[in-house]
Amino acid sequence: MLDKTQIAQRIAKEVQNGQYINLGIGIPTLVANYIPDHLEVVLQSENGLLGIGPFPTEDKIDPDLINAGKQTITMVKGSALFSSAESFAMIRGGHVHLTILGAMEVSENGDIANWKIPGKMVKGMGGAMDLVASAENIIVAMQHCSKDGQSKLLKECSLPITGIRCVKKIVTDLAVLDILPEGGFKLLERAPGVSVEEIRDKTEGRLVIHGEIPEMDFG
């Protein structure tokens, strides 16, 4: 199975030149460390920063420079700082090409639940609902199963929904999967050492398998 950094490394392969990209809290923030050098992309944070760089080394930490997850970050040449109101105007105006989010559940129709667990205190959904409603493309980074071994790729989400029919691709610690237009998880790649049978056993929703499924390539 993949660790969190490997999930981020694999997702970085989905990034395309010229994109404006929002990275959600958790695993998605790690993607900033793996953007290929030959690509020119702009990373956006909804607290009001355009032009996020890799995480800082110890000698480059600036406590006043943080992303939406309160992590210290760096800025690249040409970065801009502005109010969160302007940041959300950018998001809601459809100017973010790709959003990479974490999730607690994803349904086979592309619904996502990623902001609330009933009975637990939360401060709100943050920018997730705006992002999933506005981005051109949404990729989810998540663990395939919960800590108790239950699948998080479901027929229908059981937790409060963040967005409906919005997820396009999922990268888990076991697999890379597309959401089909008619519904269902199409298996594209499997993690090194992980079998198709294990992925099938740990996916509650409809899993679609066509031909031989290759192992992930991080090159």
User: What number of other Cβ atoms are within 10 A of residue 160's Cβ?
Assistant: 15
User: What number of other Cβ atoms are within 10 A of residue 103's Cβ?
Assistant: 27
Residue found by looking up tokens 């920018």 in the block:
127
Q: Phi and psi for 130 in degrees, rounded to 5?
A: -65, -40
Report how far apart the first and last C-alpha atoms of the chain are (Å, whole number).
17
Residue found by looking up tokens 């760096």 in the block:
74
**Out of 46, 105, 108, 204, which one is annotated catalytic?**
46
Name which of 11, 19, 48 is nearest 136 in CA terms: 19
Distance CA 187, CA 214 (A): 10
Distance CA 102, CA 106 (A): 10
Cβ 159 vs Cβ 120: under 8 Å: no
Q: Any catalytic annotation for residue 215?
A: no
Q: Phi and psi for 161 in degrees, rounded to 5?
A: -80, 135
| Residues that are catalytic | 46
